[in-house]
Each structure stands twice: as structure tokens, then as C-alpha cells.
Amino acid sequence: MALDTPHIMIVEARFYEEIGDALMESAIKVLEDASATYERFQVPGTFELPAAIQFAVRSMDFYTARRRFDGYIALGCVIRGETSHYDYVCAESARGLQDLALKNTLAMGYGILTCENRKQAMARASSDQHDRGGAAARACLAMVELKRNFHLYPR
């Protein structure tokens, strides 16, 4: 892979499959338009996203002894329910991803929707409305480029 072709890990929470599909579709379109390569991984829910990325960060490419990915995109959705579970999942997944990005100097695209209901979530996931999956991919690519500007590539 050429230095200017970023290789991205996309991790998708599948708890709300229809919403996840819309987020993924938008993210992939942005990456393909940018000629980036990617690998997709699925986890059960948003709470598991930070752990999946941590697994990838700790794994190294066998041949180069470097990280396998230049950037990471976390996609998922949390919809408020009747209990405080929503608050914990939102806060802990966001904190976990931010901690990973800061501790490991990761280029991260944050695509976790935190919504009151399914209608709000679909509007934010839809590529012809809020396009949060595409926004997460664009953020990731921008951070990959910023890392390169600071000569932090590929680490």
C-alpha cells in the first residue's frame, strides 16, 4: 500500500442493524471516494467499540511490525430508553474512544449517534440528511492527514 493511501479500520455496533447499515454505507462511500482502503469489523453494541479498537491497536502487522491501520472509525447508535443505561453507554463509549485516541495518537472518526428515538437516529444516519457516517469517515481521514503533517505516520 502506498504511503498516501490510508488503510482504515471501521468498527460497527450492530445493535440497531438498519441504522448501522446506513452509517456504514455513508462511511464506505467517503473512504472509496478518497481511494482509502478499509476493513470492516462488527461488535454487538456501542459499549464494545473501544475494546475492538484497542484489540487492533495492540495487534501488529506480522511483516512490518507496525499498526495495521492508519485510522479508525467507530459507528454505532444509542437510543434513550426508560433507564439510565443510555447515559452510561453514551458516556463510557465516548470516553473510551477519546482515551484511546489520546493515549495512542490515533486518527479517530467518531460516528456514534446518541438519540431520543429511532426517527432521530435514521435522520442522522441517512446520507441525504445528516450523514453522520460520512462525517465520521471525513474526520478520520482529516486526522490521518494531520498525523502525517506532524510526521507521526505510520505508527
Banded pLDDT at 3 (limits 50, 70, 90): low
The pLDDT of residue 2 is 45
Partnered with residue 78 across adjacent β-strands are 114
Is-catalytic flag, 85? Answer: yes
Q: What is the pLDDT of residues 102-115, one digit of tens each?
A: 999 999 999 999 99
Q: What is the pLDDT of residues 123-152, one digit of tens each?
A: 999 888 889 999 999 999 999 999 999 998
For residue 61, pLDDT beyond 70: no
CA dist 133 and 155 (Å) reads: 25
The pLDDT of residue 83 is 85
For residue 66, pLDDT beyond 90: no
CA dist 36 and 44 (Å) reads: 26
Q: What is the pLDDT of residues 6-51, one digit of tens each?
A: 999 999 999 999 999 999 999 999 999 999 999 999 999 999 999 9
State the pTM of this model: 0.92
**Annotated active-site residue in 7, 85, 130, 151:** 85
